[in-house]
Amino acid sequence: MKAMLLKKVGILAKGESRLELAHIPEPAPDEGELLIRISACGVCHTELDEIEGRTPPPFLPVVPGHQIVGRVEKCGSKTGAFKAGNRVGVGWIYSACGECRFCREGNDNLCHAFKATGRDANGGYANYVTVPESSAYPIPGIFSDAEAAPLLCAGAIGYRSLRLTGLMDGQSLGLTGFGASAHLVLKMARHRFPNSAVYVFARSEKERAFARELGAVWAGHTEDKAPQPLNCIIDTTPVWKPIVEALSNLEAGGRLVINAIRKEEVDKDYLLKLDYSKHLWMEKEIKSVANVSRSDVSEFMQLAAEMGLKPEVQEFPLEDANKALAELKAGKIRGAKVLRME
C-alpha cells in the first residue's frame, strides 16, 4: 500500500518536504482490531508538532494522520460493533488502559497510558490502517468523507474546548487563531449559545474576513483590543503571543482555554511581557485541553449531524501531504485541509 512516512524529526525549513511516499505492507488486524481502507484523512497542526519534535513519535518511521475516514475492510477476532463495509472514523485517541481512574470516569484522554493515532501507532496518511474497534466511530450519512475527517479531531477538540470554557448563553466568547478547529467552534457556539457574541483574533485579514462571514460580530488582529472584555476565550494557535494578548482581553473572572498539544518555541520570550496585574489578576483562569476522549468524539459527531455542521475543506491528493503541511505552517488556512486517497 502507499503511505507517507516520517523518517526524521526536526524543524521544518521553508520549502522542505519531510514526509516520503513509500510502498509498505498492508497491515492485518489483530484481536479486537479493524482493518480500515482509508478514503480521507484530515491534516492537523499536531502533525507539524510530531515532525518538528514537540511531541515526537516513539519510533520511526511512522505514518502520521489522525482524522481518518474509511470503510472497514476486515474485522479481527473478538470484534462485533462493526462489520466489513461499514463507514467509520478514527480520531487522535488510539488507545488507553481502560482501568485507571481517568478511564473509569470517562476521561481516557488523561490516561497515563494514552496512545495517539499517527504518533504512537501508524495513522491515516496511507491506504490502510488498523485500529482498536473501541476507537472507531460510525460516520453519520449527512457528511461526505472529506467533511467528516476534520470533525474527528478539529471538531471534537473544539467541542471539548467550548465545554471547558463554561460559557453560558449571553456571555461573550473570543477565539484567537481561526483555522480548522476555531471555524467549527464559531459555528457550534452560534448554534448552542444564540445570545452569545463571538469575537475573533487572527493575524490574517483573510481569516478575519472568513470569521465575519461565519457570524463573528468583530474580528481583529491578535494584538488588537476587543470592543469589550470577554467572558471566555479559546486559543487555537501554536505560539505564545496570542496567550498573553488574550489574557489582556479577558473580563474579571474570565477563563482562557488553550486548545493545543504543544506550543512552539519561536516566540517564548513574549512570555516576559506577562504582567500579573494586567493579565492574571482579578481571578482570571487558564485551562489547557489535553487530547480528546472517546466520548468527546461520539458526542460531537452526533451533535454535528443534528446541527448539519459541516467544515469548509480544501482537498489534496495523498502525495501532496507535504504541500498541505507547508501551507499549514505558513498560515495559509481557510477551514480544514484533507488528504484524499485513490
Domain spans in the chain, listed from the N-terminal domain onward = 2-139+312-340, 156-288
Quote the pLDDT of residue 109: 97
**C-alpha count within 13 angstroms, C-beta hemisphere, residue 187:** 26
Q: What is the pLDDT of residues 11-24, one digit of tens each?
A: 988 888 999 999 99
Which stretches of the chain are assigned E, i.e. beta strand? 2-6, 19-23, 33-43, 68-75, 87-90, 93-95, 115-116, 128-132, 136-138, 173-176, 198-201, 218-220, 230-235, 250-258, 285-288, 313-317, 336-340
Separation CA 325–CA 158 (nearest Å): 20
Residue closest to 79 by CA, chosen among 29, 138, 140, 129: 29
Confidence class for position 291, pLDDT limits 50, 70, 90: very high
Which residues lie closer than 8 Å to 281 by C-beta, 6 or more apart? Answer: none
Separation CA 161–CA 155 (nearest Å): 10
**Do the domains 2-139+312-340 and 156-288 sit in the same CATH topology, yes or no?**
no
Task: Indicate if the pLDDT at residue 336 is higher than 80.
Answer: yes
Q: What is the pLDDT of residues 236-250, one digit of tens each?
A: 999 999 999 999 999
Range with lowest mean pLDDT among 208-217, 291-300, 314-323, 325-334: 325-334
- The three cell numbers locating residue 63: 505514518
DSSP letter at 271 equals G
Confidence class for position 266, pLDDT limits 50, 70, 90: confident
Quote the pLDDT of residue 183: 95
Separation CA 50–CA 47 (nearest Å): 5
Within 68-179, residue ranges assigned H as helices are 101-104, 145-150, 156-165
Measure CA of the first residue to CA of the last residue in the chain; give whole Å: 11
Block residue for cell numbers 472514523: 89
Quote the pLDDT of residue 162: 98
Task: Indicate if the pLDDT at residue 334 is higher than 90.
Answer: no
Quote the pLDDT of residue 287: 97
Q: Which CATH class, in words, describes the domain spanning 2-139+312-340? A: alpha beta
Quote the pLDDT of residue 181: 94
Quote the pLDDT of residue 51: 96
> For the residues 208-232, what does the mean pLDDT come to?
97
Alpha-carbon distances of 260 from 225, 235, 288, rounded to whole Å: 23, 8, 8
DSSP letter at 126 equals B
Quote the pLDDT of residue 14: 85
Quote the pLDDT of residue 314: 96
Residue % of the chain over a pLDDT of 90: 94
> For the residues 118-140, what does the mean pLDDT come to?
98
DSSP letter at 48 equals H
Mean pLDDT, the chain, as a whole number? 96
- The CATH architecture assigned to 156-288 reads 3-Layer(aba) Sandwich (3.40)
Quote the pLDDT of residue 265: 87
Quote the pLDDT of residue 13: 87
Q: What is the pLDDT of residues 43-85, one digit of tens each?
A: 999 999 999 999 999 999 999 999 999 999 999 999 999 999 9
Task: Indicate if the pLDDT at residue 342 is higher than 80.
Answer: no
